[in-house]
Amino acid sequence: MKYLIKSFILFTLLVVGAPAVLGQYGIGTNSPNPAAAVDVSSTTLGFLPPRMSTSQLTTLAGKNPANGLMVFDTDQHCLVCFTNNVARPVFLLPPVLLPTAGKPVIDTNTGIATYTYAGGTGSNSGEGASVWKWWRTDNNAILSVTTACPKSCKSQTVKFSVTPVDKSGRIGLTVTSDETTIQASSSVTISHDPSDGISPTTQSITYSFYNPWGTCWLDRNLGAVTKAGGASDNSPGSAGWYWQFNTLQGYSVDASNVRNPATWGSNTNSGNTDWQPINDPCKRLLGLSWHVPCIGELESVCNQGSFHCAGYLNSDAYTPSGYGRGLYYSYWTSNQDGVGFAHVFTAGSGASLVDVSFSKVNANSVRCVQDQ
């Protein structure tokens, strides 16, 4: 009997005491990883660390915790690790959406969409609102991201995709908002100012939209205060402004044939290219979804009304005279026709517009169209 008792005690010491001798413990496994002091193994259960609020963590910091002490912060929704008495996030979980933040909110006056979610403050890391860098500052931090939604004669949808990145550059899981609809508009008002490097004069203009064959166009030339009263309308207000090919700066010509700006550009940046997006006045003034039309787009609508004889500015004498206003149509496309020339749709009053090659240094009317 004594032999059996001694054997049982020896067996118990070997089983229970072995991990202490080896410095390893296995929970749910008889073979702990050789590199782990404690190895927890399960396919049905998880490891649950202590859970504390941010204020409770602050109290814990006063106890001089050892570096490496880990706790789950219930306010920031992340695991934190103490280093030099400071609780630092180990990994940022996706932001927890506010109850009212499922969809972006659209300001129908400004066309700005705003999406709000909880968890940090941030700054834009690129154009638009698809990727934002952010980091947590406190448990009350709120971040709203915005993007401009150009008005259109067609309804649109918008949603945000936000990828959190902490200060160390670690990338969290992407959060995508629900989709919301922007209702179709009938017009857009632009406050033009010469400080934008595009508008030659200060003017607030309301552009109406029209929608031939499902494509959204302005109802007048870019810069036109009023819609033309007919094909031979020669008023400066309905003519709008003129552009040299592949440039941003527009020119106006008043009733006395005074051009503004007075300095005529040499158009050295036109290059051997089509009209580039960075130089597109439609994109800069109306939004990224608008552009100077290509040959095919302009050809499909130029003889369907709304276009009129606004004339053009001749570069030969570098004079402020407006040529052919009330007599000639002359509209740029975004397509060049070799070095120094580009495609223009032109005609005399009452005739059908045709595609011709025009010097890039001349200045012609621009009629903006929205991406389909």
Q: pLDDT value at position 224?
A: 95
Tokens of 123: 């700054």
Count Cα neighbours of 359 within 13 Å in the Cβ-side half-sphere: 11
Lowest mean pLDDT across 33-37, 147-151, 306-310: 147-151
pLDDT: is 169 or 50 the higher one? Answer: 50
pLDDT 10s digits, 311-335 = 888 864 444 445 688 888 899 999 9
Ranges of each domain in the chain:
1-47, 50-91, 105-182, 187-370
Q: pLDDT value at position 199?
A: 96
Q: pLDDT value at position 263?
A: 83
Q: How confident is the model at residue 17 (pLDDT cuts 50, 70, 90)?
A: very low
Residue reference for tokens 């490496």: 68
Q: pLDDT value at position 129?
A: 34
Q: pLDDT value at position 198?
A: 95
pLDDT: is 348 or 165 the higher one? Answer: 348
pLDDT: is 215 or 128 the higher one? Answer: 215
Top mean pLDDT of 133-137, 306-310, 311-315, 365-369 is at 365-369
Q: How confident is the model at residue 268 (pLDDT cuts 50, 70, 90)?
A: low
Q: Of 138, 325, 367, 315, nearest to 236 (Cα)?
A: 325
pTM here is 0.60
Find the mean pLDDT for residues 53-82.
86
d(CA 72, CA 54): 9
Q: pLDDT value at position 353?
A: 72
Q: How confident is the model at residue 20 (pLDDT cuts 50, 70, 90)?
A: very low
pLDDT of 272 over the 70 cut: yes
Q: Of 200, 213, 228, 343, nearest to 285 (Cα)?
A: 200
pLDDT of 362 over the 80 cut: yes
pLDDT 10s digits, 288-298 = 889 999 998 88
Find the mean pLDDT for residues 9-25.
49
- Long-range pairs for 217-221: beta carbons < 8 A, 24 or more residues apart: 217/301, 217/306, 217/367, 217/368, 217/369, 217/370, 218/286, 218/367, 218/368, 218/369, 219/306, 220/306, 220/367, 221/310, 221/365, 221/366, 221/367
**Per-chain mean pLDDT for the chain:** 75
Find the mean pLDDT for residues 293-305.
81
> What Cα–Cα distance (Å) separates residue 323 from each residue in 34, 138, 157?
87, 64, 43
> What Cα–Cα distance (Å) separates residue 255 from each residue in 229, 259, 349?
17, 10, 20
Q: pLDDT value at position 200?
A: 95
Contact assessment for residue 344 and residue 335, using Cβ atoms and an 8 Å cutoff: no
d(CA 224, CA 242): 10
223: left (phi over 0), alpha (psi -120 to 50) or beta: left
